[in-house]
C-alpha cells in the first residue's frame, strides 16, 4: 500500500507502469 501511495505521487501513469511490472514479474 505504501508503494502505491508513492507511485500515486508520481502520477497515474507511474502506477499503471508499476502494475504492469508486477504482472510481468509474476
- What torsion do the CA atoms of 3, 1, 23, 7 make, to the nearest 10 degrees? -40
Residue-wise pLDDT for 1-26, tens only, equals 566 666 556 567 777 888 888 888 76
Q: Whole-prediction pTM value?
A: 0.41
Q: Are 15 and 26 in contact (CB under 8 A)?
A: no
pLDDT of residue 15: 76
Say how many C-beta atoms besides its own lie within 10 A of residue 9's C-beta. Answer: 8
Amino acid at each position: 500500500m505504501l508503494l502505491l501511495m508513492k507511485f500515486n505521487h508520481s502520477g497515474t501513469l507511474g502506477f499503471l507502469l508499476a502494475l504492469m511490472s508486477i504482472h510481468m514479474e509474476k
